[in-house]
Chains A and B, each alone.
Chain A
Amino acid sequence: MLMPPKEIILNIIKELFIVMLLLLGVSFVVFGILYAAPGDQFSVLLEGQLPTAQARQEIREAMGGAQGWYGQYFSWLLNVLSGNFGTSVRTGLPVAGELLTVSLNTLYLTLGSMLVTLLVAVPIALYSSVRGHSVAISWPLTMLGYVISALPVFWLGYIAIYISIHGFDFFPLASMSRTPGENDWLYTLVPVLVLGLGSGTISEVIRNLREEMSRVMAEDYVRTARAKGASVWRHAFKEGLLLPVTQIIAAKIPFILGGAVIVEQVFNWPGMGRMAWQAAQDRDFPVIMGIVLVAAAFVRLGSLIQHIVCTAVNPQGARD
């Protein structure tokens, strides 16, 4: 079933290399944007001081006068590689440390919401792939999927809060550092639901999965499976479900992260999104750059995992 681990390892290494390459590209783009920005943001960034005129002046002197963009880029890149993302202009805290905790929170949120998305989308997709589109149940479900993902996420969040307050009489404030115990997970449930439903991925997952499934269901080998009285699902699972799901999830991570920014605002979720917003307000470049890098890393990680699943499931490139 599984391919020899050696191959997998090699594959992973190769992929890791590509990931590194892409992240390097990301860092360059980020730098470019910042470099193009009006005012001398970079000195600010490297120093982590208040962006006052004289502070900048001092820094420029400290950096030994005019230093070309490449100089700045590499000095920054080296810092980043050595785990030093600079210190927040606003709080003066080292960004790296903050990012760690905060990005974990965002990770929980994202993973949770993915789970929700799948739990909703997969059954609908499978059902309508088997029963066809016009069936009385699958059609409205699909519609519902569309409708929800066509609503503004934060407004959906407000609705969710309003309902949980006036309907269930509890306040879904996701403040992770609440005194432990007292069903914390319940509080985190609502934001996760909102992101999972609202991030606009559901309808796409449904659409994509439905097509894949019905395509695979028409495959000859599935027919063979039926002909020999074996379970169709068992045979269709890998190509019809596992692969597309991992694929689409990996592809959707950026969108979900985007949605997380909003949901974190609404539900006071101490994640990267909130931090990014604050940073944008304060032009706190070290922070926001760090966040972009970490977010990109998440995305690449997702596709890495997808790639691994793909190779593990699909040995010797049986299909491509």
Chain B
Amino acid sequence: MKKYSQTSSVIEDFSKLPFWQKYAVVDLIYVGYGLLIVALVLLSYILGMFNWLPHDPQQINMDMLMAPPATADYLLGTDFMGRDILSRLIMGIQAYFLPGLLAISISLSGGILLGVVAGYRGGTIETIITYFTNLVDSFPRLVLILLVIAAFKPDIYYIMVVMGITGVPAVATAIANKIRFLAQKNFIEAAIALGLRTRVIIVKHILWYNCRALLIIQATLGMGEAILLETSLSYLGFGVQEPEPSWGNMVQSGANYFLQGNFWPSTAPALAILFTILGFNLLGDGLNNILEDKRDK
């Protein structure tokens, strides 16, 4: 049974409707959860920055190796060096925050530039850009990173630059398509007819009004990818290096004891990763549906 119901017998002004009635509940839950996660991430970033932590994440405690959760005052237990997992989790964000932002900003700025040029100019430039994106897309990210590591050194920033660049095509194509779509709708001609300057059209009308949803989504997804990528690299030994905590190298070092049935040290950070990335993805989904309001169609 699916129920449709009308709130009042006559609705004069729909904009007066409270927002939770305008959109599907699922989306609102998604976005809510996503925002919560984002807030948590920011919070722990700040906590880490000022070192407001239950313990010093570097403090080694040799008589308390791999303590289970809630032993002594270690809320989430300790890792293989007897360091407080909770503090390291919070601190771990530091490893991603700036590098992640770097990666995102690279792929966004690059993507926007290429996308706008391709979509707006078209012609030969567009084909050239298409070839470029295809070229970048030809590299399996992880393998490329291994090459870079071998050539230079396992440094999170190098890795994130590579990730940023490999992220460009997705953004570029998305934006280009959007612009083409708008062009079909004679949106751009109209704007030109209004005598708007190209810059204004692109920045305000195309990017801001029509692409922000898309960009936000790309950004959130990018953060998630950054975390997963670093985790994979940590497993290969090329991620953020000890003693700096990162969720990746926490899962990795914890996983050494996983098969011996000592799950916790790797599960804690793994769950952190899971919930965070889930949050980012759902945020993306929800925003997408709400801003484009998909569900109503």
Contacts and interface: CB of A to CB of B under 8 A. Distances in A.
Is A in direct contact with B (CB under 8 Å) within the complex?
A: yes
B154 to A, nearest CB: 9
Interface string A158-202: 110110010000000000000000000000000000000000100
Interface string A21-44: 111011001100110111001000
Dominant SS at the B interface? helix
B139 A296 contact: yes
A291 B147 CA distance: 9
Interface centre among B255, B282, B295 (most CB of A within 10 A): B255
Contact of B235 (A18, A30, A152, A289): A152
Contacts of A120: none
Interface stretch (B10-18, B197-205, B271-279): B271-279
Nearest to B166: A254
B149 A280 contact: yes
Given A152-B231, A162-B258, A200-B228, A280 B139 contact: no
Contacts of B152: 37-38
B186 interface: no
B151 interface: yes
Contacts of A265: 235-236
Interface residues on A, range: 35 or more
A320 B140 CA distance: 27
B168 to A, nearest CB: 14
A154 interface: yes
Given A155-B255, A158-B255, A288 B150 contact: yes
A147 B147 contact: no
Interface string A107-124: 000000000000000000
A285 interface: yes
Contact of A292 (B139, B149, B232, B278): B139
Which of B142, B231, B295 counts the most chain A CB atoms within 10 A? B142
Interface centre among A36, A152, A253, A255 (most CB of B within 10 A): A152
27 contacts: A18-B131, A25-B138, A33-B147, A33-B151, A37-B150, A37-B151, A133-B26, A133-B295, A134-B26, A146-B281, A146-B282, A158-B255, A158-B259, A161-B259, A165-B259, A200-B228, A207-B285, A254-B138, A255-B140, A258-B232, A261-B142, A262-B236, A280-B146, A289-B147, A292-B139, A296-B138, A296-B139
Interface of A: 18, 21-23, 25-26, 29-30, 33-34, 36-38, 41, 133-134, 139, 146-147, 150-155, 158-159, 161-162, 165, 200, 203, 207, 251, 253-255, 257-259, 261-262, 265, 272-273, 276-277, 279-280, 283-285, 288-289, 291-292, 295-296, 299-300, 303
